[in-house]
């Protein structure tokens, strides 16, 4: 039972355009969401995160939007660059009753983004 779903295995966009990567989740007890980026033969690297008390978080070209009622989040990359070509993983963490009590992340299967020059 996949609790974090990335339904698009791949996405191709033109350089300079917007890339929108989507993620859906089923567990309403998730309260913190992250995006990781992975290049081939490397480990995933943290990109951006959002707490469930917010609906938007922006960091340079990257913006994550959270729609709690729809259990949906999206990552926007504007403008897209060829160096953004990578696999993007959405991840979620359960609500912490005590700080540090939840540390497991549940990952989606990833979306391969290709940005064409």
Partner 1 sequence: GAGVSQSPSNKVTEKGKDVELRCDPISGHTALYWYRQSLGQGLEFLIYFQGNSAPDKSGLPSDRFSAERTGGSVSTLTIQRTQQEDSAVYLCASSPAASREKLFFGSGTQLSVL
Spatial contact of 27 and 92, defined as CB atoms under 8 Å apart:
yes
Rank residues 33 and 84 by Cβ distance to partner 1 and give the closer one: 33
**Nearest approach, Cβ of 107 to partner 1 (angstroms)?**
4
Longest dimension (CA), the chain: 47
Dihedral angle sign, alpha carbons of residues 54, 115, 36, 27: positive
**Nearest approach, Cβ of 77 to partner 1 (angstroms)?**
19
Residue 82: what are its φ and ψ, rounded to 5°?
-55, -35
Of residues 16-45, those binding partner 1 (CB under 8 A): 32, 34, 36, 41-45
**Nearest approach, Cβ of 71 to partner 1 (angstroms)?**
17
Structure tokens at 35: 């995006």
- 62 lies in the binding site for partner 1 (CB under 8 A): no
- Considering only residues 88, 108, 113, 115, which one is a binding residue for partner 1 as defined by CB under 8 A? 108
Spatial contact of 36 and 88, defined as CB atoms under 8 Å apart:
yes
- Sheet strands (E) in the chain: 4-5, 10-14, 19-25, 30-38, 45-51, 56-59, 62-67, 72-77, 86-94, 105-107, 111-116
Q: How many residues bind partner 1 (CB under 8 A)?
A: 25
Interaction mask 76-95, partner 1, x per CB under 8 A: -------------x-x-x--
Chain positions contacting partner 1, by CB under 8 A: 2, 4, 6, 32, 34, 36, 41-46, 49, 89, 91, 93, 100, 103-110
């Amino acid at each position: 039972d996949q609790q974090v779903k990335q339904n698009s295995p791949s996405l191709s966009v033109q350089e300079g355009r917007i890339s929108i990567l989507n993620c859906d989740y089923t567990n309403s007890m998730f309260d913190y969401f992250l995006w990781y980026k992975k290049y081939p033969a490397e480990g995933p690297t943290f990109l951006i995160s959002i707490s469930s008390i917010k609906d938007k978080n922006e960091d340079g070209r990257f913006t994550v939007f959270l729609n709690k009622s729809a259990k949906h989040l999206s990552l926007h990359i504007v403008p897209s660059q060829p160096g953004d070509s990578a696999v993007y993983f959405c991840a979620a963490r359960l609500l912490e009753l005590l700080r540090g009590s939840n540390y497991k992340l549940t990952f989606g299967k990833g979306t391969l983004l290709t940005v064409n020059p």
